[in-house]
Amino acid sequence: MTLVIASDSHGHGDSLSRAFDRQPKADGLIFLGDGLKDLFGFRETHPHVPILAVRGNCDFVSVLPDGGTAPNQEIRVFENVRILMVHGHTHNVKSGTGYLTAAAHRAGASVALYGHTHEQETHFETVGGPEDPVSIQLCNPGSIGYEGQFATLTLQNGRALIGLGQLD
């Protein structure tokens, strides 16, 4: 399973479609907030693509194209990988990823996806004691709206592979 991850479109919804279309084998879109209204345009051009979204600090309305409401955070399991998805503002990610890593650990997630900083990056953080260390992979896809940045998440047999992407 491959998912396109995007965040922070801020009114540049066409970038969502451009990023998704660059991944011909993508199975769905994860949107990490700040531009939920842009998902309506994406839905028009990609009517059958599953969308999973969380609300950002600039999303004053949290209605989704399917009529649902975007939560502040979502925890899902795909291909035996537990994933925490947040925008990041409620986890103070502009001051570091410590709170987010701790939240992912408490949720039993091995992957934490976030936006908010507009800084594309992925890395691992280790939590727990020396007797039982746990590695959590974090990813911020960057800003799809301002920088044309996105990420992909490929899941298979309990493993997660994250790739960083850039629109032309």
Mean pLDDT in order along the chain per 10 residues (168 residues): 98 96 96 98 96 97 93 97 98 96 96 98 92 94 98 96 96
CATH of the domain at 128: 3.60.21.10
The CA angle 146-149-151, to the nearest 5 degrees, is 150
- Residues 113 and 82: their CA atoms lie apart, in Å, by 11
Indicate the SS3 state at residue 111. strand
Answer whether 153's CB lies under 8 Å from 162's CB.
yes
Domain count, the chain: 1
Answer whether 109's CB lies under 8 Å from 136's CB.
yes
pLDDT at 160: 97
Instruction: Tell me the pTM.
Output: 0.96
* Enclosing domain of residue 47: 2-166
**Computed from CA positions of residues 26, 29, 35, 41, in that sequence, does the dihedral angle turn out positive or negative?**
positive
